[in-house]
Amino acid sequence: MAHPPLSWTIHERRGYRFAAAGPSEAPPIVLVHGLFGALSNWDSFLKYHADRYALYVPLLPIYEQSSVEPSLAGLTGYLWQFYTEELSRPAIWIGNSLGGHLALLIAYQHPEAVRALVLTGSSGLFEEGMGSSFPRRSSREYVAERVRYTFYDPRHATPELIDEVFSLVNDSYKALRILKIARDAQRDFIGPKLPHISAPTCLIWGLNDTITPVSTAYGFFYLLPRAELHFIDECGHAPMMEHPERFHSILGRFLQALSS
């Protein structure tokens, strides 16, 4: 008999929201999305890892009305509250783009919470993106161009994704929060902190990432004491979305080595 497809369950607590899947007693993985990220960015994890890991996606309060300050400190505090109230053991933290930056700050500030790190397209050293300003945000074609810039294959920039980003950047409240977070992230050069992060780290990078390019990946590789680096060809800023099979093949080997 075929099993029904796995799906995320949304949980709401006082002060934070998160999605979860997989057996709660299994080793935990915390998935941290980027500035324009969403729960759907991590859907491939349901297929590849939800049978062996407890998957958690904290839903970062980037856009909505929130008492959480729109800054790295505010978002890191939000993640720490989620972790301390929901998990009681070290987790594997996986972050894309801004999410990688936040996972690194957690590892630096609270090493006891981190069993390992997986970073893909992480900010913190260099990022060329749309976040610091929206000079033509009223132009849907301009927004579409910037969304396509995220991927090697522009077909991944679906009309639905473009419409979602267009709606975000044309809402004054949401746009202001995005700008504040983006500018704070650009000011926060994390390089000096990286040699103090001892968690084993897997860097999985798109070889054609134009937002955090190959040189950024090498920067993380040389500064993190226990890092390994893998590239995926014909791939942009979100490998887990653009090439899930290759991404999870690399990740699976890393997770298996952690367990051995």
Q: Which residue type does 229 have?
A: L
pLDDT of the residue at 144: 84
Q: Percent of the chain at pLDDT above 70? A: 93
pLDDT tens track for 217-229: 999 999 999 999 9
Q: Is 36 within 8 Å of 27 (Cβ atoms)?
A: no
pLDDT of the residue at 1: 37
Specify the pTM: 0.92
pLDDT tens track for 162-187: 888 888 888 888 888 989 999 999 99
Range with the poorest average pLDDT among 69-73, 75-79, 174-178: 174-178
The number of angstroms, rounded, from the C-alpha of 70 to the middle of its chain's C-alpha atoms is 17
Q: Is the pLDDT of residue 77 over 50?
A: yes
pLDDT of the residue at 131: 46
Range with the poorest average pLDDT among 84-88, 140-144, 147-151: 140-144
DSSP 8-state secondary structure symbol assigned to residue 191 = G
pLDDT of the residue at 138: 61
Range with the poorest average pLDDT among 37-41, 225-229, 234-238: 37-41
pLDDT of the residue at 245: 97
**CA dihedral sign, ordered 105, 148, 135, 65:** negative
| 9-130+189-259 is classed CATH 1.20.120.1200 | no
**Nearest to 229, CA basis, from 210, 211, 212, 241:** 212
Q: Is 63 within 8 Å of 174 (Cβ atoms)?
A: yes
pLDDT of the residue at 142: 78
- Where do runs of H (alpha helix) occur along the chain? 44-49, 72-86, 98-109, 140-148, 159-169, 172-187, 214-223, 239-242, 244-259
Distance, in Å, from the CA atom of 62 to the CA atom of 64, rounded to the nearest integer, reads 6
Mean pLDDT of the chain: 91
Instruction: Quickly count: other Cβ atoms within 10 Å of residue 146's Cβ.
Output: 21
